[in-house]
Amino acid sequence: MTFDPAVRPRDHFTPQRGWLNDPNGLVVHDGEHHLFFQHHPHSLEPGPMSWGHAVSTDLLTWTELPTALVGSDSEHIWSGSVVHDTANTSGLAPDGRAPLVALYTRFDPATGIQSQCAAHSLDRGRTWETYAGNPVLDIGSTAFRDPKVFREGDGWAMVLVLAEDRTVELYRSTDLLTWEHASSFGPEGFTDGVWECPDLVVVPVEGTSETAAVLLVSVQAGGPGGGSGMQYFVGELDERGFRSTQAARWVDHGADFYAAISYADGPEPVVQAWMSNWQYADRVPATDFRGSMSLARRLSLRRRDEGLVLVQRPVARAGELVVELTGQNLTDTLPLPVEATSYRVVAEIEPGTADRLGLQVRVGEGEHTTIRIDPAAGTVALDRTRSGVEVHPEFPAVHTAPLPPRGGPGGGGPVRLEVVVDVASVEVFVGDGELAMTDQVFPDPTSSGLTVFAEGGTAHVLHLAVHV
Ligand code: FRU
């Protein structure tokens, strides 16, 4: 029994060859979602980065295009963002045209200096020209990176990190090429690891016409699943900058959701992450490629007693309905007639008298990954103790997080689960997207089963559907 690294996930983007990490330059433009990404095309290890490129119209099927920005031994092209400069404020396009403009970090391995550079494209991101006046922002720092640009009124704003300081710096510009420092945020929240890949996103509050500013910050160490993690701050953004109005929380409670940023110019906030962890990313089984993106996730905020909580809904394939249960009592483990390595389970289960309940996915001989709800403790666990090839023995194999409110009177009510399994990953959403947990798993391809279980009492499956 062993994992086969040649098999690609079905709906998660992987590069044709080589190493992948952060998503870069996410933008919706001319009917396409552009996914640029940190890419070291000729190696399964990180190295001098380039920007790989893929496009999609549904966020599930991807077409990989030629490398967009080619790095070299003397100039590594690190993370950044793309905007559509509709009014040609940059002047980078000929009159009457509107360029896509990329802002990225140039890493100079000779000096360690990280400076911000620009490039533009006039052909829907297919080819790029770097700006002759690069860098556009250089403060002589060796830990200053990951510019994320967004529109602000008629002008532009950009957030990037002073990674070692654990701060997010806000700059403003009228032309994308000259940048003025405006304000600084942090250190605050989780600060065990260096800060990376910030994004400031306007997110709607469910059931209202309100929005709030959400600052996403990736933290390289000390995450909830061990190693890299992502935090968010809900707050306010005005001319003085960003201020948090509530304590930091984790975006995802698993180990493999990092460096997520949002798509520019979409109709709603949608983020996508690198589905790995700097602590072991280079140990993940691989042959032709190493690394994949998460599914894209739609963001909203939900009002709770403790404040506004981030809600994430995956953009998942509808798929074919292969199993459906309604109104069924559950006292032990019920195997479901599923044989697949990619599937999606949506379930609503009333815990009843059960001590524990949940799902086992990718079930095979001696292998399974467990999603376990403990109603009394009020926890959800994603357990990859028996998930297949172990690449991170020094990290906890069980990730545990607080169970979101179930919505019933007196704290009762059904647990709502959505689980997306795709060859080498499990993404779990609990409570209508209120809690997310993402882990890579490396099971044998024959571990293709699925069970639903209850222990120590009777749970009630109100509804359970499996789509492949
Ligand atoms: C985050 C990161 C960024 C950097 C890039 C280099 O994963 O470390 O801070 O720009 O990866 O590949």
Structure tokens at 183: 């304000």
Residue 113 pairs with which residues in a beta bridge? none
Q: Indicate whether residue 196 lines ligand 1 (CB < 6 A).
A: yes
Q: Which residue has the CA at smallest separation from atom 8 of ligand 1? A: 196
Q: How far is the CA of 303 from the centre of ligand 1 (A)?
A: 33
Ligand 1 pocket test target in 24, 49, 79 with most atoms within 8 Å of CB = 79
Mean per-residue pLDDT, 371-397: 96
| 234 shares a domain with 166 | yes
Residue 7 in domain: no
Q: Of 297, 314, 331, which closes a domain?
A: 314
Mean pLDDT of 152-158: 96
Do residues 253 and 435 lie in contact, with contact meaning Cβ atoms separated by under 8 Å? yes
CA distances from residue 286 to 153, 192, 363 in whole angstroms, order as listed = 45, 29, 22
Domain check: are 378 and 300 in the same one? no
Contacts of residue 318, defined as CB under 8 A and 6 or more positions apart, other chains included, come to: 467
Q: Which atom of ligand 1 is nearest to the CA of 218?
A: 1
Quick one: 285 exposed, middle or buried, by C-beta within 10 A (0-12, 13-18, 19+)? Answer: middle
Would you state the pLDDT for residue 147?
99
Using the mean position of ligand 1's atoms as its centre, give its distance from the Cα of residue 357 in Å: 38
Buried b (16+ CB within 10 A) or exposed e, 305-314: eeebbbbbbb
Strand partners, 231: 217, 250
| CA dist 355 → 333, 359, 368, 378, 418 (Å) | 13, 14, 20, 11, 21
- Centroid of ligand 1 to alpha carbon of 146 (angstroms): 7
Give yes or no for residue 361 having a pLDDT over 90: yes
pLDDT at 376 exceeding the cut of 90: yes
Model confidence pLDDT, tens digit, residues 193-202 = 999 999 999 9
Domain co-membership, 329 together with 283: no
CA of 218 to the centre of ligand 1 (A): 10
CB of residue 276 inside a 6 A radius of ligand 1: no
Compute the CA torsion angle 249, 255, 260, 266 (nearest 10 deg).
Answer: -90
Q: Is the CB of 22 under 6 A from ligand 1?
A: yes
Question: Among 49, 1, 58, 2, which Cα is nearest to 21's?
Answer: 49
- pLDDT of 1 reads 77
Q: Whose CA is nearest to atom 9 of ligand 1?
A: 196
Structure tokens at 262: 């949002």
Average pLDDT (24-47) is 98
Average pLDDT over residues 13-38: 98
Asked if residue 130 lies in contact with residue 119, where contact means CB atoms within 8 angstroms, the answer is yes
Domain total in the chain: 2
Do 329 and 389 sit in the same domain of this protein?
yes
Residues 224 and 277 in one domain: yes
Residue 256: CB within 6 Å of ligand 1?
no
439 located within any domain: yes
Instruction: Determine the structural domain holding residue 220 and report its residue range.
Output: 18-314
Among 264, 280, 314, residue at a domain's last position: 314
Query: ∠ CA 329-334-338 to the nearest 5 degrees?
Result: 125
pLDDT tens across 296-333, in order?
999 999 999 999 999 999 999 999 999 999 999 999 99
- Which of 76, 107, 117, 197 to mutate to test ligand 1, by most ligand atoms within 8 A of the CB atom? 197
d(CA 196, ligand 1 centre) in Å: 7
Give mean pLDDT, residues 444-451.
Answer: 98
Are 40 and 21 contacting, i.e. CB atoms less than 8 angstroms apart?
A: no
CATH number for the domain harbouring residue 240: 2.115.10.20
Q: What is the CATH number of the domain that holds 418?
A: 2.60.120.560
Residue 200 Cβ < 6 Å to ligand 1: no
Whole-number Å distance between alpha carbons of 322 and 253:
29
Does the C-beta of 145 come closer than 6 Å to ligand 1?
Answer: yes
Token pair 């080589």: residue: 18
> Mind listing the pLDDT tens digit for each residue in 271-294?
999 999 999 999 999 999 999 999
Q: Using a 6 Å cutoff on CB, does residue 116 contact ligand 1?
A: no
* Predicted local confidence at residue 410, as pLDDT: 83
Mean pLDDT of 441-457: 98
Q: 3-state class of 302 per DSSP?
A: strand
Residue that is last in its domain, among 314, 341, 373: 314
β-pair partners for 464 = 325, 347
Of ligand 1's atoms, which has the minimum distance to the CA of residue 146? 10
Pairing of strands 289-290, 18-29: parallel
Between the CA of 259 and the centroid of ligand 1 the distance, in Å, is: 8
Give the catalytic positions in this structure: 22
Q: Is 211 found in the same domain as 150?
A: yes
Cα(174)–Cα(156) distance, rounded to whole angstroms?
6
Is residue 35 one of the residues assigned to a domain?
yes
Indicate whether residue 77 lines ligand 1 (CB < 6 A): no
Residue listed under structure tokens 């806000």: 170
Question: Can you tell me the distance from the alpha carbon of 352 to that of 461, in angstroms, rounded to the nearest whole number?
Answer: 10
User: Which atom of ligand 1 is found nearest the CA of 38?
Assistant: 12
Q: What is the mean pLDDT of residues 51-79?
A: 98
Q: Are residues 122 and 140 in the same domain?
A: yes
Q: What is the model's pLDDT at position 249?
A: 98
pLDDT digits (tens, 9 = 90+) for 382-393: 999 999 999 988
Q: Does 210 reside within a domain?
A: yes
CB of 232 within 8 A of CB of 248? yes
What gap in Å lies between CA 374 and CA 249, rounded to an integer? 21
Check pocket membership of 69 for ligand 1, CB cut-off 6 A: no
Residue pair 280/396 in contact (Cβ under 8 Å)? The answer is: no
Residues 79 and 152 both lie in one domain: yes
Cα angle, residue 398 at apex, residues 393 and 404 outer, rounded to 5°:
155
Look up residue 78 and give its amino acid. Answer: W
On whether residue 1 sits in a domain, the answer given is no
Mention every residue, 6+ apart, whose C-beta is less than 8 A from residue 148.
80, 81, 158, 159, 160, 197, 198, 199, 200, 261
Compute the distance from residue 108 Cα to the ligand 1 centre, in Å: 14
Over residues 353-377, mean pLDDT: 98
- Does residue 363 lie within any of the structural domains? yes
3-state secondary structure of 267: coil
- Residue 256 and residue 353 in one domain: no
How does pLDDT run across 405-416, given as a tens digit for each residue? 998 888 889 999
Cβ(194) to ligand 1 under 6 A? Answer: no
Extract the tokens encoding 303.
């009002």
Determine the atom of ligand 1 nearest the C-alpha atom of 46.
12
Same domain, 240 and 325: no
Assess if residue 46 is contained within a domain.
yes
Mean pLDDT for the chain overall? 97
Model confidence band, residue 466 (pLDDT cutoffs 50, 70, 90): very high
- 127: amino acid identity, one letter: T
- Percent of the residues in the chain that have a pLDDT greater than 70, as a whole number: 100
The reply to whether ligand 1 has any atom less than 6 angstroms from the CB of 49 is yes
Q: What is the per-residue pLDDT across 239-254, written as a single tens digit (0 to 9) for each?
A: 999 999 999 999 999 9
Same domain, 265 and 303: yes
pLDDT of residue 409: 82
pLDDT value of residue 460: 98
Helix (H) or strand (E) holding 387: none
Tokens 């306007």 identify what position? Answer: 202
Question: Do 443 and 362 share a domain, yes or no?
Answer: yes
Q: Are the CB atoms for 124 and 63 separated by under 8 Å?
A: no
Average pLDDT for residues 175-204, to the nearest whole number? 98
Task: Output the residue whose Cα is nearest ligand 1's atom 6.
Answer: 78
